[in-house]
C-alpha cells in the first residue's frame, strides 16, 4: 500500500511539472538576399547608312567633345570629294533610343565591384573589317568610370572593357554608349556596294 502511495505521489508530481508554464521561448529569423547583376542597353541597332538620302550631310553628333558628321549619302559624297585619308562618322540613326544619338546602358547591382565589357563579336565580319567600328562610353551617373578615354576600335582588345567599378558600385549606374564608323578614301568598295551587312556586339556584366 505504501509503495502504491509513493508511486501515485511521484506521478502527480510529474504531471504538475509538465503543466507548469515557462517564461522563455525561441524562434528563427531567416534572411534571403539574391545576388543582383542586371545590364540593360536600350539601343538595338546603330545604323550607318551611307546611302541615306534623307539627311543633308551637315547633321552632327558630339562625342567626347568632338563633332562627328552623321552617315548619309550627302556626307559620303562630300567625303569622297574632299578627303585624303580617313574620317569617323556617327550613326545615321539608332533604334530603341527614342531619337537619342547614343544608347543608354543601365547597370543595377548589389556588388561593389563590377565590369562591363564587349565579351564577343558575332556574325560578320564586316567587309571593311570590324576594327572600323569604334566605341565610346560616357558616364552619366552612379558608380565606376569609363575605360574609353577616346573612341576606341571594338577590336582593340578581346574582351574590351568599356567601364567598371572597383569599389562603391552598388545601386544603379548609367552610361551613354556611342559608336562611330571609320571610312578610308582608299576603300575599294565592291561594284554591288555593301548592302546592310551587320555584326552583333555582345556586352557582358561581371563581378569578382
Q: What is the pLDDT of residue 8?
A: 52
pLDDT tens figures, 92-119 = 999 999 999 999 999 999 999 999 999 9
* pLDDT at 112 (0 to 100): 98
Spatial strand order in the sheet of 200-206: 145-146, 160-165, 114-122, 200-206
Q: Give the span between the Cα atoms of 35 and 178, in whole angstroms.
A: 29
Structure confidence at residue 6 (pLDDT) = 53
pLDDT at residue 56 tops 80: yes
Phi, psi angle pair for 84, to nearest 5°: -130, 0
Q: Which residue has the higher pLDDT, 1 or 69?
A: 69
Say if residue 206's pLDDT is above 90: yes
Set of cell numbers at residue 23:
517564461
Place of cell 577616346: 150
Segment 62-82 mean pLDDT: 98
pLDDT value for 186: 97
Predicted pLDDT at 21: 74
Domain ranges for the chain, please list them.
37-187+201-206
The DSSP 8-state label assigned to residue 184 in this structure reads E
Q: Would you state the pLDDT for residue 187? A: 97
Q: Is 82:74 a contact under the CB 8 Å cutoff?
A: no
Q: What is the mean pLDDT of residues 151-172?
A: 98
Q: How confident is the model at residue 120 (pLDDT cuts 50, 70, 90)?
A: very high
Confidence (pLDDT) at 117: 98
- Residues recorded for the chain: 208
Using DSSP's 3-state secondary structure scheme, residue 107 falls into strand
Structure pTM?
0.88
Q: Judge whether residue 9 has pLDDT over 90.
A: no
Amino acid at each position: 500500500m505504501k509503495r502504491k502511495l509513493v508511486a501515485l505521489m511521484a506521478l502527480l508530481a510529474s504531471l504538475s511539472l509538465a503543466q507548469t508554464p515557462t517564461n522563455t521561448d525561441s524562434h528563427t529569423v531567416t534572411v534571403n538576399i539574391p545576388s543582383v547583376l542586371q545590364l540593360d542597353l536600350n539601343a538595338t541597332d546603330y545604323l550607318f547608312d551611307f546611302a541615306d538620302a534623307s539627311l543633308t550631310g551637315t547633321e552632327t553628333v558630339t562625342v567626347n567633345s568632338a563633332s562627328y558628321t552623321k552617315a548619309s549619302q550627302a556626307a559620303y559624297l562630300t567625303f569622297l570629294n574632299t578627303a585624303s585619308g580617313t574620317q569617323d562618322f556617327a550613326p545615321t540613326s539608332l533604334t530603341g533610343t527614342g531619337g537619342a544619338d547614343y544608347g543608354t546602358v543601365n547597370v543595377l547591382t548589389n556588388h561593389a565591384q563590377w565590369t562591363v565589357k564587349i565579351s564577343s563579336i558575332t556574325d560578320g565580319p564586316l567587309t571593311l573589317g570590324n576594327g572600323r567600328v569604334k566605341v565610346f562610353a560616357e558616364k552619366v551617373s552612379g558608380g565606376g568610370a569609363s575605360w574609353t578615354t577616346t573612341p576606341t576600335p571594338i577590336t582593340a582588345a578581346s574582351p574590351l572593357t568599356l567601364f567598371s567599378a572597383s569599389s562603391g558600385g552598388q545601386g544603379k549606374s548609367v552610361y551613354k554608349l556611342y559608336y562611330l564608323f571609320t571610312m578610308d578614301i582608299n576603300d575599294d568598295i565592291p561594284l554591288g556596294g555593301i548592302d546592310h551587312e551587320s555584326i552583333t556586339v555582345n556586352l557582358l556584366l561581371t563581378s569578382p
